[in-house]
Structure 1
Amino acid sequence: MPWPKIARMVKRSRSRRAAEGAWGLVLLARVLGIGALAALILASGAWASWRTAQHVMLTKGHDRGTVTLAACGDSSCTGPFAPEGAATARPKVTVSLPVRHHVGEKVPVVIEPGTDTGVRAGLGGVLFAWVPLGGALLLAAVVVGGGMRMPRTAWTLAAAGAALLGGAFLTL
């Protein structure tokens, strides 16, 4: 093929180049907007999880002990707190627990400072505290997969969220 004919095929008009540039900006704005939305979802999930997880993971200075479950409702149980170490005993502490716990069981807890609310201690408590982040990972996976068209990243986020939620379910 002669050179001038190839040059005519490659040459584009200014309006077409401008339209392609504008379309590129639209695609870039979409990716940045959806990326910011996914980051916001993950940050809010981490923030909601950290409110409880800080008491379970950073236990220095917190009252640790066990709660003997005396009464259980739909989502929480109450009972007397028996401390470990120099903490003070409390007659009634409320613990948010799943339904499968029964009256009479002893549950290791960490007391939130300034309250009579206990947070489950140990690996089960850590995983249970991070459940909001697991849900945020699953939601961000849908946003990243659908909005940004990044299926591998979406599957990775979904697998991490499912593993966190599954681990919390199995340990509690």
Structure 2
Amino acid sequence: MPATAHRRKSAPAMLRLGRLGRLGRFAVMGTVAALILIAGVWASWGSAQHVMLSKGREQGTMTVSGCEDGVCTGSYRPVSVGSTARGRVVLDQSVGVGEGETYTVVVKPGSLDVVRSGPAGFLYAWVPLGGALLLASVVVAGGLGLTRTGLALAGSGLALVTAAWVAL
């Protein structure tokens, strides 16, 4: 009899521990997913801010003269008022950049670095967020058990990365 009485008392305690375990897993996985998404936004914002908030910044076109070591260089011709021409500016090399091509760009303040503007530049700037959405979808669907939410995150990330690839 004492063994049965002991089991009856421990059953509610086990239920509470099970609930706390699920709650703890939910909190940890939710935190991991949130950190992945925050890192994706942080990585994207470095370039996206120049593309999205281009009013008042120097805007123009860049003609690529050469690419090596992950960067392309070329001449800059201003389009916006107050912008000055430059003989050499630097653009991070991406899949869609080729020698001899001309691209619309925005100059990063206080530097010779430029980022692509327009729809292609906007989408390319947010590619790190697309990757973060894909990664977070695995955590949300697998770790949290929220399959539909995970699929929505994966679909959004895939759509963003695909749209950037098509636009470039």
TM-score using structure 2 length = 0.92
Q: Which residue of 1 aligns with 2:72?
A: 77
User: What residue in structure 2 maps to residue 126 of structure 1?
Assistant: 122
Take 1:171 and 1:18, find their aligned partners in 2: how far apart are those partners? 57
Residue of structure 2 aligned with 1:46, choices 21, 41, 49: 41
The superposition leaves residues 65-101 of structure 1 with CA deviations (integer Å, 9 ceiling, x where unpaired) of 0001111225321101000132011111111232343
User: Matches of 2:99 and 2:15 in 1, distance apart?
Assistant: 68
Paired with 2:66 and 2:83, the residues of 1 have a C-alpha distance of 23
Which residue is 1:170 aligned to? 166
Return the letter of the residue paired with 2:108: E
Q: Corresponding residue for 1:156?
A: 152
Shift, 1:62, TM fit:
1.0
**Pair 1:33-2:6 in alignment:** no
Give the alignment of 1:6-155 within 5 angstroms.
13-73=8-68, 75-84=70-79, 85-155=81-151
The residue type equivalent to 1:98 in the other structure is S
Q: Deviations over 1:85-138 (max 9, x none)?
A: 320111111112323432211110000001100000001100000000000000
What SS does the aligned partner of 1:146 have? helix
Amino acid at match of 1:89: A
Q: Distance in 2 between matches of 1:75 and 1:123?
A: 22
Aligned mates of 1:141, 1:74 — CA distance in 2: 33
Residue 4 of structure 2 is matched in structure 1 by none
CA distance in 2, matches of 1:82, 1:28: 57
* Consecutive unaligned residues in structure 1, runs of 5 or more: 1-11
Gaps of 5+ in 2: 1-6
Q: Could you tell which deviates more after superposition, 75-84 or 91-100?
A: 91-100
Q: Max radius of gyration: which structure? A: 1
Q: What is the percentage of aligned positions where both structures have the same residue?
A: 47
Distance 1:56 1:169 in 2: 17
- Residue 52 of structure 1 deviates from its aligned partner by 0.8
